[in-house]
Amino acid sequence: MTTAQSLLEPSRERLTNPLARYVLATRPAFLTITLAGCLLGLATAVAGGAAFDWVRAVVTLLLALLAHAGINVFNDYCDHLNGTDARNTQRIYPFTGGSRFIQNGVLTPRQVKGFAMLLFAATIAGGLWLLGAAGTGLAWIGLAGLFIGWAYSAPPLMLNSRGVGELCVTAGFLLVVAGADYAQRGAFAPLPWLAGLPYALLVANILYINQFPDRAADLASGKLHWVARLQPETAAWGYGLILLLAALALAGAIALGVLPIAAAAALVVWIPAVLAWRQLRRFAATPGHLAPAIRLTLLAAHAQPLLLAVVLLVSGHS
């Protein structure tokens, strides 16, 4: 980690406002990926003929952001317990190595855990209202999302440490799209699942590439995801595999007629993603150089659902 990066990290001296501490502990800059998924889900519902309800849409966005914030905070607490973030000296802040709020003394572990529980409680409370407005099927989506968020980090499951973190992320963000669609449509439909899969896989690649700078600390803490299990140069090919699966998922949905031909325009985001993969293969063993590749990965994962949402709304495909 460079001196410039360490200066960006939170400190108790700079964050004197208690409210600001808690807001920033959620890592708000990274919640936009959930916003993009929600917008795609709203677009699939409208394209599928659902009448748009602004109140449900706003509540859906807020609850999805609350849930993501809670998962971020809870993950920080769990990585404090297993010592990963404390051991992490190769982090690329703000992308990897956690929020640093516990490690830098901004908040205590107890405060972080309590805040995570509060965020989850608020999500459940709001979800109960949305459940009454949209339908009981939404309960299964919400419960599955919260379970994945807990099981990803927390013992005894610690699914990311067992090599299925990417699967958890894919499933979790696919639920974001499906949940936003259901909140409008009031029923399950194939469109949000098939339209959301490429996006969810691109989000999984954010996790995947972020694990390279954290690899040494994760290994020392027993977090045996695939980037930790494989040699860096070999693990770098996993990014390309996930990228290929995302492209095939998009092409498959178009071939099945679930998405319009115009949805192929979203493939343009594979350009920055492939550039990121090229950089990853070059710097896999020296991950301190991966910040530009991480930014390109984030760009691809944000742009693809937004482009696809525009295509669906313009085409009116159902």
State the Cα–Cα distance between residues 152 and 178, nearest whole angstrom: 20
Contacts of 252 (CB under 8 A, 6+ apart): 194
pLDDT digits (tens, 9 = 90+) for 145-200: 999 999 999 999 999 999 999 999 999 999 999 999 999 999 999 999 999 999 99
Q: What phi, psi does 88 have (nearest 5°)?
A: -80, 105
Among 6-10, 36-40, 62-66, 214-218, which is the least confidently predicted range? 6-10
What per-residue confidence (pLDDT) applies to 5? 53
Q: Are 276 and 297 in contact (CB under 8 A)?
A: yes
pLDDT at 6: 64
What are 229-271's pLDDT values in tens digits?
999 999 999 999 999 999 999 999 999 999 999 999 999 999 9
CB neighbourhood size of 292 (10 A): 12
**Are 203 and 80 in contact, with CB atoms under 8 Å apart?**
no
Report the b/e string of 59-97 with b at 16+ CB within 10 A.
bbbebbbbbbbbbbbbbbbbbbebebbbbbebbbbbbbb
* Degrees to nearest 5, angle at CA 64 with 93 and 253: 95
For position 3, what pLDDT does the model report? 47
CB 238 within 8 A of CB 230: yes
pTM for the whole thing?
A: 0.95
Q: Is pLDDT of 17 > 50?
A: yes
